[in-house]
Amino acid sequence: MARLFGRAVEQAPAAPDLRLSAVVSRILSLVSESSLIIAPGEKVLLASDSARALGIVRDEKLVGEELAAMVRHARKGFELVESRVEFKRGRLGTGTFELIVRALLIPELGSGTVLVLIADESESRLVDEVRRDFVANISHELKTPIGALSILAEAVVEASDDPAAVRRFAERMGTESVRLGDLVQEIIDLSRLQSQDPLAHPSFVLLENVLSLALDRTKLSAQKRDITVVPSSAGGLGVMGNQEQLTTALTNLINNAIAYSPDHTSVGIGIESREDIVEIAISDQGIGISEADIERIFERFYRVDPARSRATGGTGLGLAIVKHIVTNHGGDVRVWSMEGSGSTFTLRLPLASNSQESE
């Protein structure tokens, strides 16, 4: 094992010059970028943990045609090859990393050996998006409950000599205050999610723990409606990412299933793996979603049934948060629904390998 950035880095046993390779590794420990040393055939000789976390190394081979093309170009001469590359997060969904990649031929390490340095610009891009979106979200949604509270306060003053009216308006003010608090919290949560990349410093997340936490957080809302939540076992399945974010996504989907289901029904949770993908399906017996609405349900503040959302306290951000979390974990979310027959939301995430679990 070599050491890179103060962390373990796998080293191929047949490096062309082990002494020189060790010197290069020590030099790279002072560099903030992710790094790789690539031999001909795009074989990875050295790779930092952060490079592996990006998913650009698989079976000790460089992944990504654009990256491989840069390495081949660098191999033709001594000039530095530099480019901005969008690299897909995992093999599912549409999420991407925004990378600044530099490649340089280092013949002293062996014929055709190339050093690759990678700077992940995704976080700075997310910070800019958070700043822009937060202002838009505040102006878009907070006006309604704040306006309602203002009107109700005026109504209380005008009805000061009518105790029954005052009590009625005060109850509505309490409801609007709770809704306003929930909305502010979800906007804060969404902004925080946008600024925290779960794959920048991922951990192995056991799905059984995620399921247990989500069930605990939704227990009271299910009991109030006499809705039975029936989970399957996740066994030892796991993914790479952030446990709290994944728990939030699953909790939101279970709460959504409960909110849109009739009393005394059930919500089922199925978990199974298909090759290198794990699927988590949440099925309800609720009112269902129209085909037109399915296209828009992950938009921020979009509500399928505004009247029902008001009754359940929905903010229109829950599913947007789910989509954002899953996309940032390199996955996607699919929906099946039929009006009057319920809905099934399926989270699909890259399954963590045994080697990733042991890192």
Give the model confidence (pLDDT) of 191-213 as tens digits. Answer: 666 667 787 778 999 999 999 99
Q: What local confidence, expressed as pLDDT, does residue 5 receive?
A: 36
Instruction: Return mean pLDDT, the chain.
Output: 80
Same domain, 114 and 186: no
Same domain, 329 and 192: no
Choose the weakest-confidence range: 128-142, 216-230, 267-281. 128-142
- 3-class SS letters over 146-175: HHHHHHHHHHHHHCCCCHHHHHHHHHHHHH
Same domain, 220 and 330: yes
Same domain, 99 and 55: yes
Q: Is 278 exposed, middle or buried (0-12, 13-18, 19+ CB in 10 A)?
A: buried
Q: Is 270 exposed, middle or buried (0-12, 13-18, 19+ CB in 10 A)?
A: middle
Same domain, 265 and 146: no
Give percent of the chain above pLDDT 70.
75
Per-residue pLDDT, averaged over 112-119, amounts to 88
Is the confidence at residue 2, as pLDDT, over 60? no
Q: What local confidence, expressed as pLDDT, does residue 141 receive?
A: 64
Per-residue pLDDT, averaged over 106-113, amounts to 84
CB 44 within 8 A of CB 57: yes
CB 54 within 8 A of CB 97: yes
In 53-121, at which residue ranges do the beta strands (DSSP E only) sit? Answer: 57-58, 61-62, 81-88, 96-105, 114-120
Token pair listed for 69: 């093309």
| Domain endpoint, select from 196, 217, 249 | 196
Total domain count, the chain: 3
Same domain, 183 and 254: no
- Domain housing 237: 199-359
Residue 152, C-beta contacts closer than 8 angstroms, at least 6 positions apart: 169, 172, 173, 176
Q: What local confidence, expressed as pLDDT, does residue 14 receive?
A: 43
> Higher-confidence residue: 23 or 40?
40
0.75 exceeded by the pTM? no
Is the confidence at residue 8, as pLDDT, over 60? no
Same domain, 62 and 127: no
Strands 7-9 and 2-4: antiparallel
Token pair listed for 92: 């599912």
* DSSP label of 201: S
| Domain endpoint, select from 176, 196, 216 | 196
Per-residue pLDDT, averaged over 136-156, amounts to 75
Same domain, 206 and 348: yes
Choose the weakest-confidence range: 139-143, 148-152, 160-164, 185-189. 139-143
> Higher-confidence residue: 229 or 338?
229
Is the confidence at residue 319, as pLDDT, over 70? yes
Is the confidence at residue 21, as pLDDT, over 70? no
Same domain, 207 and 233: yes
For 74-107, b where at least 16 C-beta lie within 10 A, e where not — what string?
Answer: bbeeeeebeeebebebbebbebebbbebbbebbe
- Dump pLDDT digits (tens) for 59-92: 888 888 888 899 998 888 768 888 888 887 766 6
SS3 of residue 222 by DSSP: helix
Q: What local confidence, expressed as pLDDT, does residue 288 receive?
A: 86
CB 207 within 8 A of CB 234: yes
| Domain endpoint, select from 120, 150, 167 | 120
